[in-house]
Every structure is written in C-alpha cells, then in structure tokens.
Structure 1
C-alpha cells in the first residue's frame, strides 16, 4: 500500500497533450476569426464563436472528414475532459466578471418600473417554458430524468436575459444612456439575479432528486450563501482588495479577484448549487466592494474575453448537432420552444411596461432588449447537458434560441426606437462612468 501511495502520478501522455494543444489552437483560431466576422455583420460575437464549435463538431466536420474529426476530437472521456476543464474555468471567470459589471444604482433609480418589467418578463416565459416542457415528447427527455425537473429546467432556460448582449447592443445603437436603455439594463439585472437563483435550485433538484427535502435543502443553502456573502464575504473581499490595491502593479488585484471567484465557485459546487452561482455572487461582492478595481482588472478581462470565453463557447458549439433538426420531432420542438421563448419575453416585458404607464413602442423596445439570451442561456444549456437534464437535441434547441433571440434584438430595437418620441428617450443625467463600465468588454465578450 505504501509503495502505491508513494508512486508518482503519471503525467499526461505525449499524444494526448498534442491533441489537446491542437484542439485549443483550432477552436481559438476559428472562434476569434468567426467572432470578428460576426461582429462585422452587426451580430453578437458569440454567434461566430459557437459556429466555430459547430464546424468542428458532429454537425459538419464529422460528416465532411470523419477521420480528421475522430483524430482531433476522439471519443475518449479523459481527452475531452481536458478541453472541458479549460472551458469551465473560462465560464466561471466570465460569470464572475458579469457579476462585477452589474450596476445596482440603475435598479434603485427606476426600481418600481424595473421590478414590474423584470417580474412579468421572467414569470411569463418561466411558466410557458415549464408548460411546454411537460408537453414535449418523452423521447426528448433523457433517461432517468424526471419530467418535472426537465420542464422546470426548460422554464429557467427560457426566462433568463443576457446583460452583456443587451449592454453591447445598446452601446452600439447609442441608447445606453437613454431612459429606455437604462430601464432595460435595470430590469435585466433583476432578471439575472433571480435566474441564477432558479438555476441553482433546479440544478440541485436534478443532482439530488425531486423531493421536498431536496428543495428545502437547496433553498437553505442558497439563503446561507447569500447571508454568508453579505455578513462575512463582503468585509473579507473588501479587505483583500484593499490590500492588493496597495501594490503599484495590477497583478495582485487580478490574482486576488481570480482566487475569490474560484473559491466562491468551488463553495457552491460543493453544495450542489452549481459553480457559476458562486462565481456570480463573488463577482457581485467584488463589484459592490467600493474598491476602485475596474481599471486594474483590464488584464483579467482581456484574458477571459479574448481566450477563455471564446474557447468555452466553441466547446459549447461542439455539443450542438444541427443534423438532429432534420428530424420532424426535433424541428417542431425547436420551432415551438423558440416561439414560446420570444412570445413569453415580449409579452411579459410588454405587460410590465404597460402597467408602469409606458407606451406601446417603449414596451416593445423593452421586450426586444429583454428577449436577448446570448451568453447566459448558453451557460444554462451547458449546465443542463452536464447534469444530464438535457439531451443533445434539446441542448441544440436551447442554444439556437440563444442565437436567434440575440440576433433579433438590434433590428426590433431600431424599429421601436424610431417611433419613440424624443422626450420619452431623454437623457437621465447618469454619469458616464456609471453605465459605460457595463459595456466596457470588447465585442468578443458577447
């Protein structure tokens, strides 16, 4: 026994390392090239980054050049886990950065209107998504997955909103500092917070089983995480950031922020609440710490947004199999889920806006912004695939929803904003730094 315990751990085999390095290089090259191409055509860069994985994965390369596909992407769990590990580090840090960028002063300024729009825009697609989940053919529900958990997960996937996509779209259209732009961001912040909570609860139910005890335990863990973050995490984060900020170099701040996000992700992963939830909470703590860390974190943002995030989205694209859409059942499911996703968000945001006294074009603009799923829905879909709640077909459908809704946002916003009176989109008088930071990441981030 002692001889076994003292034996050195074998290093990664030569061929496995070679394949891993080439996988990273090919996916990163395609993701960056196609992401920039998408941006040139006015589309979110995430569309091109996902397409990189689609081209290399089972949708294209496996049909065009099967031998190369088998060599580059062997059906070996250990080999693919290396690539997945890089993607998981990327998504954890990306979600942490998203949490840092949330501006809660936006919510405070228009809290009642933002709450109405967010609540209606979240509950309606959530309810519709759950209903559709129960109506889908049982063949699309993975073996061993409770139909209830599957339906709840589908509802969560359809109710989320992507702050990075909204911010970048509003910035490109010069709407970020307008009343309607600020209101869209504020409602999106609330949507994001509730969405991460719901994702953690449903993920815990998927991992531990559907029962009253599981739900109660998950909610207690969530409450414990939030309470610990406020009472213990906030002062610790502030102290750590202040100590790191004494250095003239940004390196200590980058290291401390990365450590905080990774530890937070590990803590919630240990509670079966999903690592991304802990990363999000820690990101919010960092962003609301009061310490001037935004400029110092530029190197971290560059690394995540130019390398880790594109690799993650490319690996997400690898899991898509567009050939599955040839089947009439899957194609009908894709159309139904997409219709429900769009209708639910637009109708929910519209109802919330009308209850707040906004006119129909302002309500339409809010619906267009809130309808963009982008980054967040891809993360949710990947979580569902990893947990076994989603199969390859439903995973492909949900990622398609993320792409289509993100592409819809700019043209619908242009139509709505062209019909909004000038006084309705007057400047709110916010400082330039308050919202500009939210959209500071380069196009590769969305």
Structure 2
C-alpha cells in the first residue's frame, strides 16, 4: 500500500480557522508561563529561543526553565518579573491558527488589558489555586464581560502546589460560577492546570483523575467561534479607494476594507452611507482574485456596478438593513490617560474608518468594576476607570450597539494636541 499523501491530507493554512484569545488575571498567576508552555508543547518556538530561555533561567539560579521569558519581552518586564505591555504571540496547530494577547495583571495597566482583550474571541482568566479568586480576577472577568468576549476559560493554575486537591478546584469552580451569573458570559469552561509542569495544558494529566473535562489546548482548538460573528447585518467600512493611474487599469475602481458584518456577494443590492446612493455589487476580490462571497473578518476589495461617489469613511450596507447615522452617542468609556475625562471636553474620535471630533456632553456614572456599583455623583473619569458617557460628534457615525457588532459598536478617542489614544468606547446606542 502506498504511503498517504500527507501534503494533501494536511489542512491548508490559508483556510484554517483563527482564534484570538487574551490572558487575564492577577499578578504572578502564571499567564506568561502558561503561554510559554503552550508555545513549547505545541512546538511553536525555535531551538535557539528555548536555549536562550534555559540559559537565562540557569543564570538566575532557577532549577526549572522560566517559560515566562518567552513572552515578557520588555527589559523592565524581565527585570521586575511582571508583564507591562500587551505581548502578542502567534502559533498554529494542525487544527487552528492562534493569536495570543498576553495582557498585564497589575491594576495600573488595566488599559493595556482592555486593548488586548478588545478583539479577542476568548478570554483566558488564570487564578492561583493557593490564592483562589482575587479582586483582580473578578475585575478582569468584569472587563471581559463588558468587552463582550463570547467565550471564557477559567484556568485554575498551580494545582501542583495544592497537591492536586479536587476540593480546592471545586471551591474555586463554584465561587467563580456564582460570580459569573452576574455577568454576561455565555460560555464558561473551568480547567485545572499546572502551567509550569504542563498538566492539562496540551496533554491530559494523570494527577487529576477526578477531572473529566478537556485539556486547555483541546478546548482552544475546538471552541466554536464562527457563529459569534454577525453574518446577518452587512457592514463594510471603506478604508481605501483603489484607482490605479496606469492606462492598463483606467476603468478599475475598487473599494478596499475589512468586512465588519454580514456576507457580501456579487449581485447584492447595497447602499453607500451616509450619502444613501444605491448600487449593486459587481464583484468581490481577494488578492486580485474574484471570490464568491466575503464575510467577517475578511479584508477584500468590493466593486460596484454604478460609478457612485465613495470615499474613505463611507460604509457599504444593505438598503433595508443599514445602520442609522448618529451624532449623539451613548457609550461606555475606558479612560486611558492620567488627565481625567470631564464634561465639555473636546477630542478627536475614530470609528471604523471614519474620523471626526467629539464633545463630552455628560458623564452619567462611573462603574466600580469590583462591585458593579454605579457612582452617579462623579463628574470625571480617571486613569483606567470605566463610565457611561454621552458624546456629541461633528460627523454622523455609522454605528451599531456594541452588543450587536463589536467592530461598528466601538471607537477610540484621541487627544488632538498629542495624537495619543486616550479612551476606548463601547456604544450602547446612538440617536
């Protein structure tokens, strides 16, 4: 019998599903070590990288390989043994491609955690089995819920340090499940692991005969994320108008961007917003090749049958299911700078590919993300604080509620003087 053709049996990397997930939890719960373990056991690091980590671990006098060094890239992170910036890592298994956002655990870096989790399909919250749930564990779970991350895994780490106690695991499991009922968490999995030793990370552990659930890697490979994307409401923010100068392509006019919702197909009736001009899709291209359809999060070029005026910042949608242009925005804001956000403040706003200016009309309340209490007496938002805010924009935003579409329902606020991003917003509604 002939040997199987492994090349034809292997998954096409271009067709493999992609999962974005973000780590969260308290300081020293082992987030960076867990990611290092995933990279090591999935054979996604080079030999020289592993040798460098082993050498550094030995020079520090460790009797183990400090896998956290694979992700803590900043010098200040390595010196302090903490994560400050969001570290992105990429790896793949035969079943799926992954993008990991290793986010900080310190409260003063909450804004960095929000940045890393804002595009995640899954949130991975670690807790130290010895400590149980901490204030920061709950804080990050609340943030993941606010950010509408649809899948959540609670990894009970360092089980080897509590002698693989089923009682400890069940106590944390019950406590977190009770807490999660107050939040919007549609899918929750609780897994006992040891990131340092590798138990239940990629391979099933013999130390947890009482646990019958999946390993962490098995869950990451098989969690279903395709249905999380909005395939009903067509949203295509135009990022760039492609009009080559060459005589060979003098009739070529395409509109490039990333599909934020719905499905785009040749022959579909569409409307260009905010002008309201109707047309039909002539074709959809991906890397100069025509495709039958495009869906989130594909980046494509759309051609229209009619020569209508389309510019960057416009949006292509379906005529009977289009977002309503809004200038009065009700949103939750995560404030990211030391200078507080106050009423009457003016900032630049960027929503999808559209930019404009915004004024803060009112701060309705500040949310205590530990107790979920709404402080309605506040008149400002400080660094890393989250609150409900009313904005008035100079240009109409083609938006949806964040709960409906995380792309068209989010925006960033920018300091016009410095160009620094100072806030991230999640739209509740627009008028």
Under TM normalisation by the shorter chain, which class is it?
under 0.3
Structure with bigger strand share is: 2
Structure with bigger helix share is: 1
TM-score by length of 1: 0.22
TM-score by length of 2: 0.23
Determine which structure has more spread, i.e. the larger CA radius of gyration: 2
